Every structure is written in structure tokens, then in C-alpha cells.
């Protein structure tokens, strides 16, 4: 003999699932843009620790407004804070897989490789750049 399902099971289940989704939304589970300042994927301390542990010749370089960091081919640059623009056209954004055009802003925490002598970044404000490889500050 077949048991009849009670008629109120379906509305109660729908109500419980709906309440769960609404509670999660108001609790902040769907807020912020992933990777933004309000919802970072990693902390700065974690990133610095990982970067310093990977390469012994890497170092944090502080630039003042107007200074230019010029690298040699193969030099790796990662903007940790502040704002800089690409200096020269031989700067490859390894994170996104494209070439940074001259005078365009570089993205924080993206890995850039210098492909031509003298290319690098120009500081628009006081900033910190993690550098692996040879470079000069002008």
C-alpha cells in the first residue's frame, strides 16, 4: 500500500530553503566584489611572506612620487601599494597574459616581467614595489 505524502511537506521545504538563501544574503555571503579591498582574497602579510620566501634576491623597494624604477630583461615587478604607470612598452603582465602599454596604470599584486632594458614603472605617488632582478632608480 502506498503512503500518501502529507501536503504541507513541500511548502515547508520551500520556505526553509528560501529562508536560508535570504539569511545568507543578509549575512554578507554575496556582498562585495571578490578580490576588492572589501573582500580580499589574500592578506598583504601572506603575499609578502610568500614572495620573500620564493626568491632570495627579491626585495621591497619604496619609490617616491616621480621616481622611475628601470629594470633589466627578466626583472619581475609586483606593485604592493601606491600607484605607478608602465615605463616603456616592454612590460608583460604575467597575471593577465598581456602587455602593459606605456603610461597605463599597473594593477596591484599583478606580476610584471621586464622584456627590454630600461623599462619598468614610474611612481605617481609614494609606493612599494616588490622587485626580483636587476634594477636602477632614476
pLDDT the model gives residue 45? 73
Domain presence at residue 1: no
pLDDT the model gives residue 2? 64
- SS3 label, residue 117: coil
For residue 117, the enclosing domain spans 44-137
Domain presence at residue 7: no
Domain presence at residue 98: yes
Structural domains of the chain, count: 1
pTM: 0.60
pLDDT the model gives residue 126? 92
What are the 10-residue block averages of pLDDT along the chain, 138 residues in total? 70 84 69 60 69 67 94 92 90 90 91 92 94 91
Domain harbouring 106, CATH code: 2.60.120.1030
pLDDT the model gives residue 51? 65
Domain presence at residue 83: yes
pLDDT the model gives residue 111? 92
Q: How far apart are CA 23 and CA 83, in angstroms?
A: 38
65-79: burial string, b at 16+ Cβ within 10 Å, e else:
eebbbbbeeebbbbb
* C-alpha dist (Å) from residue 111 to 1, 26, 74, 95, 130: 68, 35, 12, 6, 9
pLDDT the model gives residue 112? 93
Q: Are 78 and 112 in contact (CB under 8 A)?
A: yes
pLDDT the model gives residue 33? 60
For 24, the enclosing helix (H) or strand (E) is helix 9-27
pLDDT the model gives residue 120? 93
Q: Are 82 and 100 in contact (CB under 8 A)?
A: no
Domain presence at residue 132: yes
Amino acid at each position: 500500500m502506498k503512503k500518501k505524502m502529507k501536503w504541507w511537506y513541500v511548502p515547508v521545504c520551500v520556505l526553509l530553503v528560501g529562508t536560508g538563501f535570504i539569511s545568507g544574503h543578509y549575512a554578507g555571503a554575496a556582498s562585495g566584489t571578490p578580490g576588492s579591498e572589501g573582500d580580499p582574497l589574500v592578506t598583504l602579510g601572506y603575499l609578502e611572506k610568500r614572495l620573500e620566501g620564493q626568491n632570495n634576491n627579491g626585495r621591497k623597494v619604496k619609490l617616491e612620487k616621480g621616481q622611475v624604477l628601470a629594470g633589466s630583461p627578466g626583472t619581475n615587478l609586483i606593485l604592493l601599494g601606491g600607484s605607478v604607470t608602465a615605463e616603456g612598452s616592454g612590460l608583460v603582465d604575467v597575471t593577465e597574459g598581456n602587455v602593459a602599454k606605456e603610461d597605463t596604470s599597473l594593477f596591484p599584486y599583478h606580476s610584471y616581467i621586464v622584456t627590454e632594458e630600461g623599462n619598468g614603472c614610474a611612481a605617481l605617488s609614494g609606493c612599494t614595489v616588490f622587485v626580483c632582478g636587476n634594477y636602477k632608480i632614476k
